[in-house]
A = this chain, B = another copy of it.
Amino acid sequence: MVASEIRALFAVAARPEVVSLAGGMPYVSALPLDAVGQMTGDLIARNGAEVLQYGSAQGDPVLREKICEVMSLEGIQASADDVIVTVGAQQALDLITRIFVDPGDVVLAEAPSYVGALGTFASYQADVVHVPLDEGGLIPSALSETLERLQREGRRVKFLYTVPTFQNPAGVTLTQARRAQILEICARYDVLIIEDNPYGLLGFDGEPMRALRADDADRVIYLGSFSKTIASGLRVGWALAPHAVRAKLVLAAESAVLCQSSFTQLAVREYLTTQPWREQIKGFCELYRERRDAMLESLAALMPEGCTWTNPAGGFFVWLTLPEGLDSKAMAPRAIAQRVAYVPGTGFYADGTGHRHMRISYCYPEPHRIREGVRRLAGVIEAELQLRDTFGGTGGYPTLGVDTPGPDTV
């Protein structure tokens, strides 16, 4: 593992004069902090002996029931016995990789994919093979071709890792029709699916998408998180897994952290029991939709010709593609100098590609800051285009490779 260049960039990006379109931090200030404080204080005064004590490695049973209730919004029917509470979904991903992956095994992931997952896969020496996506999410024909090729090559594919809904970083969503196809292809090649779904309830239109797990309880391990729907500072996530896998995950979790924090688990349990959490999530959706609109409107108004971007229907992220010859990694320091930050696309690929892409997020800055950030970014890209047209290309920079995850790149 080497120190991350992106991390150094973020240290600069944290300056108040910089508009950061880089972070994936939820806007937790929108929570009713007085009510949450009151609730938590009462919980400790009333039930401190449980809140402050060790719990079981699988997680609080009542919270696991509540988690099943939350997942039912995405069509999932599950037993609390098949749920394990984890230190964010990140820990679930780490434990799953620990259990399944031997060095050199293949893990399939979207191109681009979540940087924190790529970091975990790299730490277990998995060989990540990317499968392309488009506005409709992972492309089924590309998945089956990749599996066919890997099968011919005698490679051992351990699982497909996918963020099907409001994807990080691309902001796209796997269509309903493709979901059935992806399940069918993975069944055909007998490949496990890790469905990572932290943003599923943060859609801007209508009802939540039906989860992959809702239609295949045997082949899909579902990862969920309260980091985006309640608060990221709690670090409460979960995995829903077939029974035999769940049992192994509990043993691995015991070895890794002994048990989860009762303090955070019971705070979430209390929040889900006593607070209007469905309405609160709707409030988050409205807030993020307004910010998404601010970003998309500004992009349409200001971006130079040749730039393209995705059109997210939920979640936190827009994926922007630069005109030919531009390099988002090389451009990043110049953008910081113009007081705007983003995440270069290279971090989201395990194969050193992604230079023409960047992730820009609308979750944290307020709308007027988003507009200002896009304005600055458009200026930076304009300047790069002039450089390109004058000197012929701004690229030729070394590839970045996979970065280990950091809170800013969640």
Which residues of chain A have a CB within 8 Å of any CB of chain B? Answer: 1, 3, 25-26, 28-29, 31, 33-34, 36-46, 48-57, 87-88, 90-91, 94, 116, 119-120, 123, 227, 231-235, 247-248, 251-252, 254-264, 267, 404-407, 410
When C-beta atoms are compared, the residue in chain B nearest to A45 turns out to be B37
Cross-chain contact of A256 among B45, B51, B53, B91 (Cβ < 8 A):
B91
Bound: A120/B45 CA distance, A: 35
Cross-chain contact of A87 among B252, B257, B410 (Cβ < 8 A):
B257
Tell whether, in the assembled complex, residue A407 and residue B259 are in contact, meaning their CB atoms are under 8 Å apart.
yes
User: Whole-angstrom distance from the CB of A223 to the nearest CB of chain B?
Assistant: 13
Complex contacts, A231 vs chain B, CB 8 Å: 52-53, 263
Complex contacts, A45 vs chain B, CB 8 Å: 33-34, 36-38
Tell whether, in the assembled complex, residue A261 and residue B233 are in contact, meaning their CB atoms are under 8 Å apart.
yes
Bound: A130/B123 CA distance, A: 30
Q: Could you give 19 example pairs across A and B, Cβ below 8 Å? A: A25-B53, A31-B52, A33-B48, A36-B45, A37-B42, A38-B41, A52-B231, A52-B234, A55-B407, A87-B87, A91-B256, A94-B256, A116-B258, A255-B404, A258-B406, A258-B410, A259-B406, A261-B261, A263-B267
Bound: A232/B258 CA distance, A: 11
Cross-chain contact of A233 among B52, B248, B410 (Cβ < 8 A):
B52
User: Whole-angstrom distance from the CB of A109 to the nearest CB of chain B?
Assistant: 15
Bound: A227/B258 CA distance, A: 12
